[in-house]
Amino acid sequence: MSLRISDAGLALLLLAAGCGQSSDDPRVAAGALPDDVAGRGRIACRVSGATAFGDVCTAERAAVADGQMLTLRGPDGGFHRVVLASDGKTMTAADGAEPVKVAVAADGATEVAIRGDTYRLPAARAAAAPVARK
């Protein structure tokens, strides 16, 4: 069963900091993708050697036994699948070999990079509350 990317579960993605690590950055806040982004069905990405981001990719989310799976698709039909673990802090490539890197951009967007492709998940408008630091 596929779920809309605007579902609250995607908030967990914004808490992810990278392969096996957690984030203390307060900009990595809980919240879903803004409704206007989810309605368009497009996210910004830089894939296939592109030098600039463009709103030409899509994201699909589905629940899996060990968390949430995101399928990030490029305009050429290529895709990457990443799994956000149930703990909300660990993200790995669903297909195994390549590490996933997660960073927070200056505008608060979450950037997910894998195999030279980068996908931008915009910060939710309501995600202003800082995440508690440990």
Give pLDDT, residue 97: 73
C-alpha dist (Å) from residue 90 to 68, 94, 128: 11, 12, 22
State the CB neighbour count (10 A cutoff) for residue 70.
24
Question: When comparing pLDDT for 119 and 4, which is higher?
Answer: 119
Give pLDDT, residue 59: 87
| Predicted structure pTM score | 0.65
C-alpha neighbours within 13 Å on the C-beta side of residue 99: 7
Are 32 and 39 contacting, i.e. CB atoms less than 8 angstroms apart?
Answer: no
Question: When comparing pLDDT for 129 and 117, which is higher?
Answer: 117
Are 19 and 92 contacting, i.e. CB atoms less than 8 angstroms apart?
Answer: yes
Q: Beginning with the edge strand found earlier in the chain, give each strand of the sheet holding 101-104 in spatial order.
A: 21-22, 16-18, 101-104, 110-114, 117-121, 43-46, 54-64, 67-73, 79-85, 91-93
Q: What is the pLDDT of residues 7-31, one digit of tens each?
A: 433 433 443 333 333 443 333 323 3
Give pLDDT, residue 40: 57
